[in-house]
A and B are shown apart, each in its own frame.
Chain A
Amino acid sequence: MSLVVFENVKKQFSGRKVLDGLSFEIEKGEILALVGPSGTGKSVTLKHIVRLLEPDEGRVLVDGVDVSACSRRELEAIRSRVGYLFQSGALLAWMTVEENVALPLRECTGLSEDEIDRRVAAALDAVELADAADKYPAEISGGMQKRAGLARAIVRESDVILYDEPTSGLDPVTSITIHRLIKKLNRELGITSVVVTHDLQGALGFTDRLLLVKDGRAVECSAPAEFAASTNPVVREFLAAMKGEL
């Protein structure tokens, strides 16, 4: 059974259709990239998985549970399994990196301080940020903030991580580091990853499948090699546009 299923999801804001019958599935343990032109609903799609937004029509199922119809307790159970990396990292400014990473453990679990310290250290090691543990978000670079956000996303031992533009605004070297981290987490911990990205070249290199979203609909969902060789005119147009940008 697929881990996440979108069934004919429709969503509009102020009369503007953003998702228009979006349907696709995410398999357990895979890295799926959501690609497409700006404003086609990629981030909106991601937010539906954890009910930050609810569909106007259709259903979003996570492990068979309808996210928009489930109880508060079921939603918390789903959210406890899902890590979310926002574009900005979304770290709390008045807490150090270490405190930010420890936050979900301190607030939502009954773990001892020793266990919390151990898990936080492991998460910071995993994203290669142990040296910045005592720094505040304003004292570290954008790339480091994203890695700190990633450490916070994995510290609860989530089995799904949603990445919203993890490399936007980063230099190519840092982008490659982030891609490597996503791949490493996927391979070593079996974390299912959904990555919204504009970095098509990067996505072709580290993901298992790419889903092209246009006008709120799924146009093509295939492995990188098939995607690059697709004869679908919308995919060809998108690839050509991205090459033009590069």
Chain B
Amino acid sequence: MSFTREVGRTTRVMLASVAAFPSVFRSRDSRRDFGVQLYKTGIGTLPVVTVVSLFTGMILALQVGLELRRFNQEIYLGAAVMITLIREMAPFSCGMCLAACVGSAIAAELGTMAVNDEIAALEIMSIPPIRFLAAPRLLALVVMAPVLAFFCCVVGTLGGGVVGATQLGVNFEQYMASAMSIADVKDLATGLAKAVVFGLVIGTVSVAQGLGTSLGATGVGRATQRSVIISFLLILMLGYMITRVCYQ
């Protein structure tokens, strides 16, 4: 019963936030907040996303390259790394980074506002928290997630190329040519669509957990923890479902 209620509340938060997207550009304070959220989501997570995607590409290249070498097929290393990154790993690692860095921060920020009566103050002023707080954060995640996923893909592919060239004896130009030959529009579109869905899910879960916070500091901690766990689980499940729909 409680689970059903929670799902219902989270769905309502998502629908109301998405419906409020146009209003983000109507008020001066919302526009400014949206700009801040874009910066926090995009530029703020760039260092973490860069390191995560670089090592993801490097690990992929090493693992796949070693196996390919057994069959003298190292020339396909670029294709293998690219296809894995563009379809799965780039949106996945980008989603994990966003859930850990941005989603947790949103849940903690809104949770603290809730226990400090700032959310109630907005309601009394007839300023809907969903429009004023949730929509700019959710929209920033939806906009920046595919951008970061694309960035992940580029950095990961380059990282894989460096490992291929330095440890597996694969020529970098050959690696890149192989990588570019396999990437097609459908893969790119699927990967970016996954990132958009992950951004929406992370934003929705974090906002719903944050706004529903009670019981002071303990409640804020719990909301933050739950937002990360639920986001991780949904990223995995939805990632599988989208892959199945698009590739099976």
CB of A79 within 8 A of CB of B126, answer: yes
- Complex Cα distance, B117 from A92, in Å, reads 10
| Whole-angstrom CA separation of A107 from B29 in the bound complex | 8
Instruction: Tell me the complex Cα distance, A90–B115, Å.
Output: 10
Q: How many residue pairs at the A-B interface have CB separations less than 8 Å?
A: 54
Task: Report whether A90 and B116 are in contact in the complex, using a CB–CB cutoff of 8 Å.
Answer: yes
When chains A and B are docked, how far (Å) is the Cα of A95 from the Cα of B118?
12
CB distance from A117 to the nearest CB of B (A): 13
For A88, the chain B residues whose CB sits under 8 A away are 116-117
In the complex, identify which listed stretch (A3-11, A98-106, A121-129) lies at the interface while the others stay far away.
A98-106
Q: Does the CB pair B125–A108 fall under 8 Å? A: yes
Q: Which residues of B contact A103 (CB under 8 A)?
A: 29, 125, 127
* Tier of interface size on chain B: 10 to 19
Across the interface, do A106 and B28 meet the contact criterion of CB distance under 8 Å?
yes
A108 touches B126 (CB 8 A): yes
Give the dominant DSSP class at B's interface: helix
**Number of chain A interface residues as a range:** 20 to 34
Query: B19 to chain A: closest CB distance in Å?
Result: 15
Once A87-B117, A88-B117, A90-B118 are accepted as A-B contacts, the answer to whether A106 and B123 lie under 8 Å apart by CB is no
- The contact string, 1 if C-beta is below 8 Å from chain B, for chain A 79-92, is 11010101110111
Chain B interface residues (CB < 8 Å from chain A): 27-29, 33, 36, 113, 116-118, 120-121, 123-127, 132
Binding site for B on A (CB under 8 A): 47, 50, 52, 76, 79-80, 82, 84, 86-88, 90-92, 94-95, 99, 103-104, 106-108, 149, 152, 156
Kindly list 6 other residue pairs between chains A and B, CB separation below 8 angstroms, not including A86-B120, A152-B125, A156-B125.
A82-B124, A86-B121, A91-B118, A107-B132, A108-B125, A108-B127
